[in-house]
Amino acid sequence: MTNPNLDATFSGLHNPTFLRACLRQATDHTPIWLMRQAGRYLPEYVATRAKAGSFMGLATNTDYATEVTLQPLERYPLDAAILFSDILTIPDAMGLGLSFAQGEGPRFASPVRDEAAVAQLAVPDMDKLRYVFDAVSSIRKALTQDGKGRVPLIGFSGSPWTLACYMVEGAGSDDYRLVKSMLYSRPDLMHTMLAINADSVAAYLNAQIDAGAQAVMVFDSWGGVLADGAFQTFSMAYTARVLAQLKRTGPNGETIPRLVFTKGGGLWLQEMAALDCDVLGLDWTVNLGKARALVGGQENGPGKALQGNIDPNVLFAPPAAIATEVARVLDSFGAPYQGTGTGPTHIFNLGHGISQYTPPEHVAALVEAVHRHSRQMRT
């Protein structure tokens, strides 16, 4: 018996490998995409950013955002595209004043550090983020060839906790002193902020789905800085609140996989198995085989697809060494599922975002090695 949702999910794509793996279906190779795959390691990205004048000039211009999203796909046979944007668009739309200085990370002009500032927070008008949704629609159109998409497009957001870290600290942080001070001294304020963030993230991702995103990912980039207990209460619970509100299907009835990545979250992997998502991303500290045994599930039963998790710094090694490490990661996951139902599947990725200093030709070696070795594992 056919599933019309899955027919709609896969039939509109020349290469649905990524989506099949998300939904724990057999594929002829292990799909690969890279976190931050459209970024500063590519000279063409640097040139486009220079034309845009600033990071936000790039992210808020539909044509530029489309151009840089497609750049890595022109170079490499990747199995998915990811929307070019930033995880901090939501707090910017809340009025916190996001900016990016050249050579520095993001900064907020109006950080949230007291009761009065928290009281001002609200789920933003999604029209303020129209530039993101316009970019999603534009990218989908640009990916279309012969009436079908080349590869799926992933939409994303930062997690409620990760957004809160930036909102309170006002920028990136080494010690998370300000946000953790609020968490421990005024947990009521933190819970209020996280609830607003979670509802904002859900509305934001649902709007991306309406605009054409074919999978959505929550980046819990700073979940791993929390203590045991605090992670479950202040990060995972609010990621769960996001997932509970997400649309399960797109405009044409297609199934929309949901991915969650918590950097430093390996300690809580078994608990994260309860999250209502399809894929759990892993950083490079986690053994894929052990993760598969914990959360990968059995044939035709519940389980999570796994995504990851090579150390991004492997890409500074020579191509032969990259190929060796690729084989080690693929082999650590083990024999890929090859049945006709569902079973344990793997999506290859880095354990975190790609470094801006990565040689582009080493990325080519990585993608080639993943496709070659994963096909050999299936013969």
372 is in an annotated binding site: no
Residues of the chain with pLDDT > 90: what percent?
93
Query: Is 166 one of the annotated binding-site residues?
Result: yes
Domain that holds residue 87: 4-376
Count of structural domains within the chain:
1
pLDDT of residue 102: 67
38 among the known binding-site residues? Answer: yes
pLDDT at 225 over 80: yes
For the segment 19-28, what is each residue's pLDDT rounded down to a tens digit?
A: 999 999 999 9
In three-state form (DSSP H/G/I as H, E/B as E, the rest C), the secondary structure along the chain is CCCHHHHHHHHCECCCHHHHHHCCCCCCCCCECCCCCCCCCCHHHHHHHHHHCCHHHHHCCHHHHHHHHHHHHHHCCCCCEECCCCCCHHHHHHHHCEEECCCCCEEECCCCCCHHHHHCCCCCCHHHHHHHHHHHHHHHHHHEECCEECCCEEEEEECHHHHHHHHHHCECCCCCHHHHHHHHHCHHHHHHHHHHHHHHHHHHHHHHHHHCCCEEEEEECCHHHCCCCHHHHHHHHHHHHHHHHCCCECCCCCECCEEEEECCCHHHHHHHCCCCCCEEECCCCCCHHHHHHHHHCCCCCCCCEEEEEECHHHHHCCHHHHHHHHHHHHHHHCCCCCCCCCCCCEEEEECCCCCCCCCHHHHHHHHHHHHHHHHHCCC
What are 95-154's pLDDT values in tens digits? 999 888 766 788 999 999 999 999 999 999 999 999 999 999 999 999 999 999 999 999
**Residue 4 clears pLDDT 80, i.e. is over it:** no
Work out the pLDDT band at 1, boundaries 50, 70, 90: very low
How high does pLDDT run on average in the chain?
96
Residue 173 marked ligand-binding: no
* Residue 7 among known ligand-binding residues: no
CATH code for the domain of 164: 3.20.20.210
155 annotated among ligand-binding-site residues: no
Q: What is the mean pLDDT of residues 35-60?
A: 94
Q: Which residues are catalytic?
A: 36, 40, 49, 86, 166
Q: Residue 2 — very low, low, confident or very high, per pLDDT cuts 50/70/90? A: low
Tens digit of each residue's pLDDT (9 = 90 or more) over 234-245: 999 999 999 999
- The answer to whether 346 is a known ligand-binding residue is no
**Residue 107 counted as an annotated binding residue:** no
Tell me: the pLDDT tens digits for 70-95?
A: 999 999 999 999 999 999 999 999 99
Residue 86 annotated as lining a ligand binding site = yes
pLDDT at 316 over 50: yes
Percentage of residues in the chain with pLDDT exceeding 70? Answer: 99
Question: Higher pLDDT residue, 105 or 261?
Answer: 261
